[in-house]
Amino acid sequence: MTTKTKIMKAAEELFAHGGFHHTTMRAITSKAGVNLSAVNYHFGSKEALLTAIFDMHWTPINEERVQRLSRVAKKSQEEPQPPTIEEAMRSFIEPTFALFQSGASGGYFRIIVGRALSEPDQTVREIFLHRVMPVIEMLKDLLCQAMPRTSRAEVSWKLRFALGAMSQTLTGHNQPPLFYLGEEKVSSGVVDLLIGFIVKGMQE
Amino acid sequence: MTTKTKIMKAAEELFAHGGFHHTTMRAITSKAGVNLSAVNYHFGSKEALLTAIFDMHWTPINEERVQRLSRVAKKSQEEPQPPTIEEAMRSFIEPTFALFQSGASGGYFRIIVGRALSEPDQTVREIFLHRVMPVIEMLKDLLCQAMPRTSRAEVSWKLRFALGAMSQTLTGHNQPPLFYLGEEKVSSGVVDLLIGFIVKGMQE
DNA sequence: GACCATTTCAAACAACTGTTTTAACTATGC
DNA sequence: GCATAGTTAAAACAGTTGTTTGAAATGGTC
């Protein structure tokens, strides 16, 4: 395993566990078993390291999201009927939760994503928002078509509720308990439970 | 206005805007217009300052929550029918959103609370969890009665979805945009929209 | 083996962190 | 008017932060 990979793997876990700001370069390089200056040499800065981690996992996920959302949009243009809330939300949510299955490293990344929604740190927030906003807009447009009797402002709020619920599922894990209610187990069934919750909640 | 009050007011806004870790003592005392050492003199430490802010707003809100939840629990014991999802969730949510109306300072505190759910910083998390867990357990018990055909694990997840949605409403404000979808406005109608979303989402 | 670019390493850097110290100030009670 | 307790002030504290430096080591190519 290359130094670069070792750093990314270690940083991902530490960022997920303790957040970006709280994680020090020394903690990262120590866990990775490399020299302190290796991060600046290979990535340039701590922030660039986070960006690299983000892009590695985020890009393939987002491509699938855009593809599926485009397909739904196209279908609704060809057929006379608008898209359903469920197919719109599924196109967005399901690719995201591939993170649950994508090996050990993805398992940590999903926590970073789950937290990004209410992240106070401007560095993290900007990296995240810049990547998620375009696809959010696509999703919102589809939802407006799916809920023709609902104002765009109300759709925006409902979408935000949905993203909040989704965020909790992404950060949801058994240990360490960030906010562990004591009864949940992360399994594939949870994604369907989440989608069911959101679809019912959004209904006009 | 006393030095203590000046500090709490300034810190609350800064904690809400930039998070606990990122906000420095110098930023707080500078904004409050007091000497740097005043925080340690009046509160003991930065962490104790956060605790003081938390307790000031949290205590009255939580008392009302517990009162209302107890009333619902008692009523469901006397009458033959179980509580509804809506009255359980309303008892929990509505007192929280008094923060929206409780003047300028409360307006900042609600952001701190909204973020706490996915907070990576252990200091903040522990302060928050220690205070919110007991009432969450009360709420969960009521919800299990309201959804007798649903397993406790599933109720736990649904409650977590609900808290995630609620978190987004608490942090929801027009500026600065932490995660601003562009269309929302925070008004009293949002709370009803949120409750409607959650109640429908939870339905068996 | 000599040359080269690439990578690693230990050490130091300046800037910033929360906290402590010690002296100065302010008001109150007698 | 003076002692006293409470509060404020400037300065320094020790520790940590991300980053930079310049030398040492490494690995491939001729």
- Our measurement of CA B163 to C1' C14, in angstroms, reads 44
List all residues 6 or more positions away from B49 whose beta carbon is below 8 Å from its beta carbon: B7, B8, B11, B28, B39, B43
Contact B22 A19 (CB under 8 A): no
Q: Does B179 touch chain A (CB under 8 A)?
A: yes
Residues shown for chain B? 204
C-beta pairs of B172-176 under 8 Å, 24+ apart in sequence: B172/A157, B172/A160, B172/B114, B173/B107, B173/B111, B176/B17
Cis peptide before B176 (omega within 30 of 0): yes
Contact B157 A18 (CB under 8 A): no
Amino acid at B174: N
- The whole-number pLDDT of residue A98 equals 79
Q: Does B27 touch chain A (CB under 8 A)?
A: no
- The whole-number pLDDT of residue B127 equals 92
CB atoms within 10 A of CB A112: 27
Closest chain A residue by Cα to residue B129: A179
- The whole-number pLDDT of residue A140 equals 93
φ, ψ at A40 (rounded to 5°) = -65, -30
- The whole-number pLDDT of residue B182 equals 46
Amino acid at A17: H
- The whole-number pLDDT of residue A42 equals 98
- The whole-number pLDDT of residue A102 equals 59
Cα(A163)–Cα(A158) distance, rounded to whole angstroms? 9
Contact A168 B21 (CB under 8 A): no
Domains and CATH numbers, chain B: 56-202 (1.10.357.10)
- The whole-number pLDDT of residue B184 equals 47
pLDDT tens per residue across span B100-145: 665 555 578 988 999 998 888 888 989 998 999 999 999 999 999 9
Partners of B194 on chain A (C-beta within 8 Å) are: 157, 161
Each of the 204 residues of chain A gets a pLDDT tens digit; together they read 899 999 999 999 999 999 999 999 999 999 999 999 999 999 999 999 999 999 999 999 999 999 999 999 999 989 889 999 999 999 999 999 877 665 555 578 988 999 998 888 888 989 998 999 999 999 999 999 999 999 888 898 999 999 999 999 888 753 333 344 444 445 567 889 999 999 999 998
Write a three-state SS string for chain B: CCHHHHHHHHHHHHHHHHCCCCCCHHHHHHHHCCCCCHHHHHCCCHHHHHHHHHHHHHHHHHHHHHHHHHHHHHHHHHCCCCCCHHHHHHHHHHHHCHHHHCHHHHHHHHHHHHHHCCCCCHHHHHHHHHHHHHHHHHHHHHHHHHCCCCCHHHHHHHHHHHHHHHHHHHHCCCCCCCCCCCCCCCCHHHHHHHHHHHHHHHCC
Residue ranges of chain B with pLDDT lower than 50? 174-185
Q: Does A180 touch chain B (CB under 8 A)?
A: no
